[in-house]
Structure 1
């Protein structure tokens, strides 16, 4: 029987010819730790399986190399989004336009005037980098930027309504992703919620009756992540603004997704714009940067100069402010809106929204046969019309005509297992492919696969590895 002492030492493995390449790639510290872990695992297995032969040096170095590869592999990976949801929260929402990407690279590599006034040589305000652009595009008097829209709502309420009451329609007490609820954020901000109306109907008199000496603001929340239909009634922003202003109170509007353009101009469903909300009388409007705007994650707060000045003095503003990379990406994204004639071409998000279904159909027809050949007889690949959605809570009941591939198992009795194996195998590709399982099929919506990316996508598919006859799962 071989004793575990017959295993090579750490020093011997470090001096092995194979280790030179590992040392060059990963360094001595991590290589030593990986070799020690491989040896410890080999000893444990030897004790559990008495009488087995100890691992060879090559086997131990294989184990160490695998550990090192896992340790140094990036966790954040590029994927192909074939889910049919353009602004997919789990996949990073909006894709940045090239102008924003270039600006971020420059900000990463060089010092910048983030908080430096080039005109007088004194300290500057980082909001100044984008405030003029935001105000020009929204019609607001002033603006400030924080790290997301949830932070924007928290900061506004903490500043304007701490220890006071905020009146909101019961039908607008939404919950968005991550269990972020308007009542909860009000509590965290120190404001007291006053609900008015019912889930489906709220009237002007409901707002008026709720106002009292402790009222700090009225608030409207744009229900961008769900819709109530049927016997419904809500009060337009202009009417709520009139009620608020009669009591010298501000109207706060949380737009959520927030668009700067009339999307109907590009053949898309209507969504109220930030400018329309400001013009309706809202004193403060909050919205996201990485949804319909098509920029980086950010919470944008616009409104009256006096209220924005108050908000910027809140100590929470420093905790919630954005860094140079966000501002570097946001500024060129906003500038694209100054040239609306080219917007659908240059703003990636809008380009994906407006892709013609015929272009996606052509892609699907080109990809159908190669994918069928890769998958073999266990699957049937068809191209088919389907519907995409905008995503991230924007226009939840609207859909976009799309086209893609539908993969179904050829045998119903193994359909569930075969689909799970295929979906898992696609996730293990060098660049993972993410589709959606629905109606006993895997749907691969091609809306977010632009024509320029198709050759690389097809080459990536060639790495697909399924078990023999689809029975053994991903290789």
Structure 2
């Protein structure tokens, strides 16, 4: 044992062989890593083990450990789940113009809050406000870091210490167990539940209005839809009632939408402009869902209400940075040319892909997938249904095609091993397990990205 301890090289000796690593990661990081490695080797020797104490082996292990420590935990993946706006995978893919804008402002100082004309302090909302107003018909607009923050800020500004009637059928829970009643409580206002889960009438709102009522609110049921014996009050009716009592009408649109989806062959979804035209005083919606931009919460509507919202101290805590504003501005600009949106906006391209083209893509990729995963699995191209995701159009499914991988053994454990193997390449490939098969839905794999998938499959162990 004493001899094995003597075989361990000193740190100074190892450092002489790791000049390149010191230049890459810094001397302190390399020294600390070597110390930890030597401590583990000594402990193993003390237990009676015979670890490899050769200098080259220790150096290689140290390099491997340092490399692993410095790999970014946030990385791109290939989305073959069939969910276009997958919350766990980052939701919307940004258009190229937005990516270019982010790179431009991220790498240099910018006029984020500087008015170039007057030479004085500017307002960061100015970079997107006119675009939002142009596309929605709003008098004014502001932006925060997501739609939950937008709802929180609006309620805290306009209803703190007061009551807000909301239909029981709209008390939704969004991802991560965030619930509308809890958001309202944090905003400092009191929820007044009205109506029933499936039916709420205008009289329910009218009966709930009292001296402490601050506003009327309608919430988009993003993650589900109640069907059958149902009734909800239209925005135009709520707007008339709110105006009768001089109350603002706030509509949380959830995903939000700026274009006519039916013209694109998609299920109808009310637009922001339509909601404001129907009488809403304030609307809130997401930037990274149907809009196809970066994570953000957009607030648009009456000028006086937006001005009050901007003055709320919480606005500073919830504000977005220059990169988000740059990406959002470029995304919004694309909506000025609706006829070109399908070419320029990835989210709408994915949503409107033709199922026949997706199926043909599956047939092209089928031989390669079979070769990659080996004879232990049966692979076929099958019709399937994709979904929009992130609570957008929750019951509307999109016809698609997928590579269905079934284990010859029939064991689920084989599927889990295959699923893990596909996540091991430098750019992980993420599918979904469903009914005893691994489905690789191709809706979000554009033709131009096929080579990227093929390149990653070379790293997959059969």
Structure 2 contact 163–190 (Cα < 8 Å) conserved: yes
Relative distance call for 1:206 and 1:51 in structure 2 (3 A) is closer
Structure 1 contact 4–54 (Cα < 8 Å) conserved: no
Show structure 1 runs of 5+ residues with no match.
467-475
Structure 2 contact 34–62 (Cα < 8 Å) conserved: yes
Shift of 1:169: 0.3
**1:4 aligns to what?**
5
**1:110 aligns to what?**
108
Question: 1:260 aligned to 240, 255, 258, which one?
Answer: 258
Q: Do structure 1's residue 406 and structure 2's residue 407 form an aligned pair?
A: no
Structure-1 separation of matches of 2:434 and 2:354:
23
**2:428 aligns to what?**
432
Structure-2 separation of matches of 1:137 and 1:301:
13
The 5 Å alignment of 1:413-428 reads: 415-428=411-424
Shift of 1:10: 0.9
How many residues of Structure 1 are paired with residues of Structure 2 in the alignment?
A: 461
**1:298 aligns to what?**
296
Question: 1:73 aligned to 71, 80, 87, which one?
Answer: 71
Shift of 1:318: 0.7
The 5 Å alignment of 1:62-211 reads: 62-211=60-209
Structure-2 separation of matches of 1:41 and 1:284:
61
Shift of 1:54: 5.7
Shift of 1:110: 2.3
**1:47 aligns to what?**
46
Structure 2 contact 215–250 (Cα < 8 Å) conserved: yes
Structure-1 separation of matches of 2:291 and 2:97:
15
**2:286 aligns to what?**
288
* Deviation readout 1:420-469 (Å, 9 max, x if unpaired): 10000001111100000001000000111111110121121011114xxx
**1:328 aligns to what?**
326
Shift of 1:62: 2.3
SS state at 1:377 partner: coil
Q: Do structure 1's residue 442 and structure 2's residue 438 form an aligned pair?
A: yes
SS state at 2:223 partner: coil
* Deviation readout 1:115-164 (Å, 9 max, x if unpaired): 11122222111111111110010011110000000110000000000000
Structure 1 contact 37–64 (Cα < 8 Å) conserved: no
TM-score w.r.t. length of structure 1: 0.95
Structure-2 separation of matches of 1:67 and 1:428:
17
Structure-2 separation of matches of 1:318 and 1:41:
48
Question: 1:361 aligned to 359, 365, 368, which one?
Answer: 359
**1:471 aligns to what?**
none
SS state at 2:358 partner: helix
**1:469 aligns to what?**
none
SS state at 1:397 partner: strand
Structure-2 separation of matches of 1:341 and 1:263:
12
* Deviation readout 1:50-89 (Å, 9 max, x if unpaired): 2635622222222211210111101111100000000000
* Deviation readout 1:178-210 (Å, 9 max, x if unpaired): 111110011101000000001111011110111
Structure-2 separation of matches of 1:365 and 1:27:
49
SS state at 1:143 partner: strand
The 5 Å alignment of 1:223-238 reads: 223-238=221-236
* Deviation readout 1:305-360 (Å, 9 max, x if unpaired): 00000000001001111110011001111011001111111111111111111221
SS state at 2:152 partner: helix
**1:218 aligns to what?**
216
Structure 1 contact 208–243 (Cα < 8 Å) conserved: yes
SS state at 1:84 partner: coil
Q: Do structure 1's residue 38 and structure 2's residue 34 form an aligned pair?
A: no
Structure-1 separation of matches of 2:348 and 2:65:
42
**1:473 aligns to what?**
none
Shift of 1:3: 4.5
Structure-1 separation of matches of 2:212 and 2:302:
22
TM-score w.r.t. length of structure 2: 0.98
Question: 2:276 aligned to 275, 278, 290, which one?
Answer: 278
The 5 Å alignment of 1:311-390 reads: 311-390=309-388
SS state at 2:215 partner: strand
Shift of 1:5: 4.1
SS state at 1:389 partner: strand
Structure 2 contact 44–51 (Cα < 8 Å) conserved: no
Structure-2 separation of matches of 1:385 and 1:9:
62
